[in-house]
């Protein structure tokens, strides 16, 4: 498989390229890269081929990953007839991607791609073959896990939720740490305490996230300090705030997907 990555030194493009190479899914000789800043002598410890532009990259690739900002898509003027095109762009729908002439898949990885822990849901248009689907699954396996979803509209929801990566845990962590430091706890200790709650606590749900409602019920049934905190969080609008955040992010993705004037 000759794979091209447009935006190869960006956050997601670099994570994907580095892990494809380190896991041996794609050999350095079969990886073609392009970016705005130009070629580099070393790419994650390997010498790979750098294309001058999207046209050269497309000519050298069987599969093209587009990992650029949505606003940069029109300027690419990509022509990819007969090729599988895997887009990581939020808000650029299949109707606009179709201008490149390729078989279109839209995926939504997140920042955990760099450590191989991204969850990357994806949607395929009608021209995508079963072999293409196996290829997409193999590519995304380099950065974590994936699922095919049935409706393109759900990509906007996936942009809002798994696409947010560590953003919401980080927001909660900042609030927790500030609560501690505002009450005189030394900053280093406040952050360690926060890490225990956010990272250590989340580890208890790894692989069993659907048990979250039961876990909350167990805390509430105990009627201790954590139950008091949970009740206060709900009374303060915690769940409503999360829902509002996801609704706002989804609306932003939908607005980005609006047809160009």
> Are 25 and 106 within one domain?
yes
- Percent of the chain beyond pLDDT 90? 90
Asked if the model's pLDDT at residue 261 lies above 70, the reply is: no
Q: Domain boundary residue among 104, 119, 152?
A: 152
Average pLDDT over residues 112-136: 97
Residue 184 lies in a domain: yes
- How many residues comprise the chain? 261
> Are 50 and 100 within one domain?
yes
**CATH number of the domain to which 233 belongs:** 1.10.3730
> Are 188 and 221 within one domain?
yes
> Are 177 and 87 within one domain?
no
Q: What is the pLDDT of residue 180?
A: 98
Residue 113 lies in a domain: yes
> Are 220 and 174 within one domain?
yes
> Are 68 and 139 within one domain?
yes
> Are 203 and 129 within one domain?
no
- Yes or no: say if 105 and 125 are a contact pair by the CB < 8 Å rule: yes
Average pLDDT over residues 67-73: 93
Mean pLDDT of the chain: 94
Residue 261 lies in a domain: no
Task: State pLDDT tens for residues 129-176.
Answer: 999 999 999 999 999 999 999 999 999 999 999 999 999 999 999 999
Task: State pLDDT tens for residues 83-92.
Answer: 999 999 999 9
- Phi-psi label, residue 207: left if phi above 0, alpha if psi -120 to 50, beta otherwise: left
> Are 213 and 84 within one domain?
no
Q: What residue numbers bound the domain in which 126 lies?
A: 3-152
The whole-angstrom separation of Cα 40 and Cα 19 is 17
- Yes or no: say if 122 and 108 are a contact pair by the CB < 8 Å rule: yes
Residue 160 lies in a domain: no
Number of domains in the chain: 2
**CATH number of the domain to which 122 belongs:** 3.40.50.720
> Are 146 and 212 within one domain?
no
Task: State pLDDT tens for residues 26-58.
Answer: 999 999 999 988 788 889 999 999 999 999 999
Residue 259 confidence class, pLDDT cut points 50, 70, 90: low
Question: What stretches of 108-228 adopt beta strand conformation (E)?
Answer: 118-119, 122-124, 144-145
> Are 135 and 231 within one domain?
no
Enter the DSSP assignment of 119: E
Is pTM beyond 0.85 here? yes
């Amino acid at each position: 498989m000759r794979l091209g990555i447009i935006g190869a030194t960006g956050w997601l493009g670099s994570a994907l390229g580095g892990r494809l190479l380190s896991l041996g899914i794609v050999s350095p000789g079969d990886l073609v890269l392009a970016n705005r800043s130009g070629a580099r002598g070393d790419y994650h410890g390997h010498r790979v081929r750098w294309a001058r532009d999207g046209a050269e990259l497309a000519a050298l690739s069987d599969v093209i990953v587009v990992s650029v900002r949505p606003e940069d898509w029109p300027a690419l003027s990509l022509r990819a007839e007969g090729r599988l095109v895997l887009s990581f762009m939020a808000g650029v729908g299949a109707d606009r991607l179709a201008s490149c002439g390729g078989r279109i898949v839209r995926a939504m990885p997140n920042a955990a791609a760099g450590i191989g822990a991204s969850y990357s849901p994806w949607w395929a248009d009608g021209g995508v073959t079963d072999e293409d689907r196996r290829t997409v699954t193999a590519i995304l396996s380099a950065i974590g896990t994936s699922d095919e979803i049935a409706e393109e509209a759900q990509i906007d929801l996936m942009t809002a939720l798994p696409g947010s990566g560590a953003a919401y845990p980080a927001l909660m962590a900042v609030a927790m740490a500030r609560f501690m430091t505002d009450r005189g706890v030394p900053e280093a200790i406040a952050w360690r305490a926060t890490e225990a709650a956010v990272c250590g606590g989340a580890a208890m749900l790894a692989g069993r996230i659907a048990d979250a409602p039961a876990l909350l019920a167990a805390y509430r049934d105990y009627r201790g300090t954590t139950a008091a905190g949970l009740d206060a969080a709900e009374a303060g609008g915690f769940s409503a705030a999360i829902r509002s955040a996801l609704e706002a992010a989804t609306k932003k993705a939908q607005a980005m997907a609006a047809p160009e004037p």
